[in-house]
Amino acid sequence: MAKWGMVIDLDKCTGCQACTTACSMENNRLPGENWQDVLFYHEGTYPNVKLMWFPRPCMHCENPSCVSVCPTKATYKDPHGGFVLMDWNRCIGCKYCQVACPYGVRFYVDEKAPVQPDIRTVFPSADGRVWDPPYRGPQDDPGRGIGIQPHGVVSKCTFCYHRVSKAPAGIADLDEDIPALKEYVPACVRTCAPKARFFGDLDNPESTVNKLIADKSGVRLKDETGNKPQVYYLSGGAAASVPSLRSMTPSDPA
């Protein structure tokens, strides 16, 4: 089975946040609770100031610390594809996974709305979900954390499981520029105008994502936590590089 991974080329990213909004709409996110986010930072003194940004989805780690701490196995590593998913029927809302995620990509559904007035009160749900926007997508799979959340649970990026899982078996890369594949590509990858994002099978040595990681010396965020993200970042690409770990070990296949 595939081990899906994402490659984000930081040399191409324009910081436009289309990934964030496409994800928000595809996955019916509450405004401001961004499964996929772009983080902005700045440093320096006028007139030489550095403004930088960093696109950040869930890393869908090989060895996710959020999964190991969950007391009910509500969050789990899907063996078919390596997705880190949520089972909303098992989640008790203890938020330990949120605490245990070094990337800050998990969200408790019942927090105060970041944007007021609370849109959940504008489109209330009749069947126990948090809200019911008229534009919600047709997909609904609470056992995998897909669709509109019920109350009292944690939600997270699914790597667009509802799209990716339907991809033809054995495919190396999901390239949105190939018309036959675009419906299987995660929303953030599909919409990315500068094509800074690539999505493919990390277990397939011939995939484009593996080629990019090799050619441009892909790195993983906070590798020292041992979580082994399945999201890689590219920048520069010089072979002389800062290693992310004191000793590099091969990744586990999914």
Partner 1 sequence: MEIIKTLLSRRRFLQASGTAGAVGAAALGSGGVLTALKPVRAQAASPPTYHATKITKSICHQCPARCGIDVYTTDGRVHAIYGSSEHPISNGKLCPKGPLGTYILYDPDRFKGPMKRTNPQKGRDIDPGFVPISWEEALDTVAGRLNTLRDKGESHRFALCFGRGWGASCAGLLGPFGKLYGSQNVPIGHSSMCSDGSMLSKAATDGNASYSAYDYRNANMLLMFGVGFLEAFRPYNNNMQVWGYIRGERVPKTRITAVDVHLNTTLAGADRALLIKPGTDGALALAIAHVILTEGLWERPFVGDFKDGVNRFKTGQHVDPGTFEEKWVKGLIEWWNIELKDRTPEWAAEITTLYERDILATAREFGSTRPAIALFERGVHAHSNGILNGMAVHSLNALVGSLFAKGGLMYQMGPSYGAMPVKEDDFMDDYAKSGPWKAQPRIDLQGHEDGYLIAKNMLQEVGPNSLAGKPYKLDTVMFYLTNPIWTAPDGRAWEDALKEVFVVDTSPFPGETAMFADLILPDHTYLERLQDAPTYPFQGWPMAQLRVPAIKPLYDTKYFGDTLIEIGKRIKGRTGEYYQALGDSENVIRHLAKGFETDPGDNGVDSFDSWKEKGVWYKKNYKWRQIGGAFFEWDGKGYNTPMTAEQVKKELFKTDSGRFEIRSGKLEHHADWIAAKTGRDKDKLMFPHWEEPQHPGGGDLYMVTPKAAMHAEGRGANLPVAIANFQPVLGGRGTVYIEINPKTARERGIADGDLVRLKSHLGSIEGHCRFFEGCRPDTVVFPMENGHWAMGRWAKGRSPGHCGEITVNQSDRVTGQCSYYTTKVSIERA
Partner 2 sequence: MNTVKTKQTGILSVALIGFLVSAGLVLDNLAQYGHAALNTNNLGISWGFPIVVYDYFLLTSTGLAMLASLAIVFGGETFRPVIKRAVWLALAGLAGGVAVLFLELGHPLRALWAIPFSFAFSSPLYWKVMCVSFYVLSLLILMARMLKSHWTIAELRINGIVTLVLALGVTSIAGVVYGSQSFRPFWASGDIPIAFIFESLLGGLAFIFFFTYLAYAFNPAALPTGVKRLFTGPLPRLLALAIFVHLLFVLARMASGLYGNLEGLQVWHHVATSPLFYAEILLGLVLPLVLLMRPGTRNNPWVQMLASFLVMNALLVSRYEYILGGQLVPMFKGAWAPALLSYFPSPTEWLMLLIAIFLSNTFNALGELFLGLSSEGDPSARVEPEPLGAQWGEGGERLAS
Binders of partner 1 among residues 227 to 246 (CB under 8 A) are none
Half-sphere exposure of 155 (CA within 13 A, CB side): 26
| Residue 132 CA: distances (Å) to CA of 30, 117, 187 | 11, 15, 20
**125-161 burial by CB neighbour count: b if 16+ within 10 A, else e?**
beeebbbeeeebeebeebebbbbbbbeebbbbbbbbb
- Cα-atom radius of gyration of the chain, to the nearest Å? 18
* Part in contact with partner 2 (CB under 8 A); list of ranges 61-69, 131-139, 176-184, 208-216: 61-69
207 binds partner 2 (CB under 8 A): no
Contact set for partner 2, span 78-117 (CB under 8 A): 90-96, 98-105, 107-114
User: Of 3, 14, 5, which is closest to residue 195 (Cα–Cα)?
Assistant: 14
Which position among 99, 115, 214, 245 is part of the footprint of partner 1 (CB under 8 A)?
115
Q: How far is the CB of 85 from partner 1 (least distance, A)?
A: 15
- For partner 2, the closer CB: 131 or 159: 131
**Residues numbered 121-140 forming contacts with partner 1, rule: CB under 8 A:** 121-125, 127-131, 133-140
Contact between 143 and partner 2 per CB under 8 A = no
Bridging pattern class, strands 4-9 and 231-234: parallel
**Residue 238 binds what, of partner 1, partner 2, none (CB under 5 to 8 Å, by partner type)?**
none
Contact residue for partner 2 among 72, 236, 252, 253 (CB under 8 A): 72
Which listed range, 43-51, 74-82, 99-107, 201-209, lies at the site for partner 1 (CB under 8 A)?
43-51
Residue 69 or 113 with smaller CB distance to partner 1: 113
Q: According to the binding rule CB under 8 A, does residue 106 interact with partner 1?
A: no
Q: Is 176 in the site for partner 1 (CB under 8 A)?
A: yes
- Chosen residue from 1, 16, 69, 119 binding partner 2 by CB under 8 A: 69
Phi, psi of 234 (to 5 degrees): -115, 135
244 touches partner 2 (CB under 8 A): no
Distance CA 34, CA 31 (A): 7
Q: Does 219 bind partner 2 (CB under 8 A)?
A: no
Query: Is residue 86 within 8 Å of residue 96, measured between CB atoms?
Result: no
The verdict on 22 binding partner 1 (CB under 8 A) reads: yes
Binder of partner 1 out of 1, 25, 69, 171 (CB under 8 A): 25
Taking a C-beta distance cutoff of 8 angstroms, is the pair 50, 44 a contact?
A: yes
Minimum distance between the CB of residue 225 and partner 2, rounded to whole angstroms?
5
Cα 194 to Cα 83: distance, rounded to the nearest angstrom: 25
C-beta separation of 103 from 171 below 8 A: no
Q: Are 7 and 220 in contact (CB under 8 A)?
A: no
